[in-house]
Chain A
Amino acid sequence: DTGVSQDPRHKITKRGQNVTFRCDPISEHNRLYWYRQTLGQGPEFLTYFQNEAQLEKSRLLSDRFSAERPKGSFSTLEIQRTEQGDSAMYLCASSSRGGEELFFGEGSRLTVL
């Protein structure tokens, strides 16, 4: 399978704990995006990378959230001191150079108790 893969698919954690999600984009894609989706809503943009550079961050991305893409390949999204309001599906997508079509992964569902 050469699509976008995300890990873990599901994470249940207690409030206050840190969690980390990983995304492996399609190998030839240089752009990588993180979105968040809550029930009944469309995905909301969080941040995006071109190669290893983080080019844009949404105001939704509080200082408890940090994303990295150290070698321009896989990316991690870490949430520190999780809150119940962080419960959502975290979606990763990638696109090729100059491409606008985003290819999404299956998402990582976070439940904060």
Chain B
Amino acid sequence: GESVGLHLPTLSVQEGDNSIINCAYSNSASDYFIWYKQESGKGPQFIIDIRSNMDKRQGQRVTVLLNKTVKHLSLQIAATQPGDSAVYFCAEIPSGYSTLTFGKGTMLLVSP
């Protein structure tokens, strides 16, 4: 099937490893951030979100870290599984706006 991963940064890991995907955002006024997972041929799927008044949030096997000083967001996936293979996008909503702006994606490839 068609891949959304062309020309994307790629992170290759072994099953069971921890993965860290990074994102630099540009708008210091953004106050809400979301990580989405997109599998080939499908729409983006919500993973986890974080507000700008937090620096860390944990979900099931995933953790998002926010460093507002350097405008950096990261997604940590624990015990990565082959089903985690996908393209991951960070997205932000600037304060006062209602629409998400997506960053460039990162392709995660998990080998069994």
Contact = CB atoms under 8 A, between A and B. Distances in A.
B6 A33 contact: no
B61 interface: no
Contacts of A100: 32, 34, 49, 93
A91 B36 CA distance: 14
A106 interface: yes
Contacts of B41: 106
B65 interface: no
B37 to A, nearest CB: 11
Interface string B1-22: 0111111100000000000000
Given A42-B104, A104-B45, 13 more contacts: A33-B99, A39-B2, A40-B105, A42-B105, A43-B44, A45-B100, A45-B101, A48-B98, A55-B98, A56-B98, A56-B99, A100-B93, A106-B43
Interface of A: 4, 31, 33, 37, 39-45, 48, 55-56, 91, 93, 100-107, 109
